[in-house]
């Protein structure tokens, strides 16, 4: 895996995790932490898991 791809995937994982925590904490502070927020967070979690899978695969070309 090239260094650029590795860096971009790491940045994607960190950004998605940060946004997930930020949105969750904002919803919790507003008292609106419910299923609707969970559904809004789902794309971020899926994107982070795809990026993490890309990082963790060991040269499966």
What is the number of domains present in the chain? 1
What is the per-residue DSSP string for the chain? --HHHHHHHHHHHHHHHHHHHHHHHHHHHHT--SHHHHHHHHHHHHHHHHHHHHHH--S--
For residue 58, being part of any structural domain is answered with: no
Q: Which tens digits make up the pLDDT trace of 1-60? A: 788 999 999 999 999 999 999 999 999 999 998 999 999 999 999 999 999 998 887 656
For residue 24, being part of any structural domain is answered with: yes
For residue 12, being part of any structural domain is answered with: yes
Q: What pLDDT score was predicted for residue 24?
A: 93
Structural domain including 8 reads 3-53
Please give the model's pTM, rounded to 2 decimal places.
Answer: 0.78
């Amino acid at each position: 895996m090239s260094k650029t791809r590795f860096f971009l995937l790491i940045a994607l994982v960190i950004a998605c995790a940060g946004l997930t925590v930020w949105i969750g904490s904002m919803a919790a502070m507003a008292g609106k932490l419910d299923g609707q927020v969970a559904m809004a967070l789902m794309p971020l979690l899926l994107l982070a898991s795809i990026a993490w899978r890309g990082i963790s695969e060991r040269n499966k070309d």
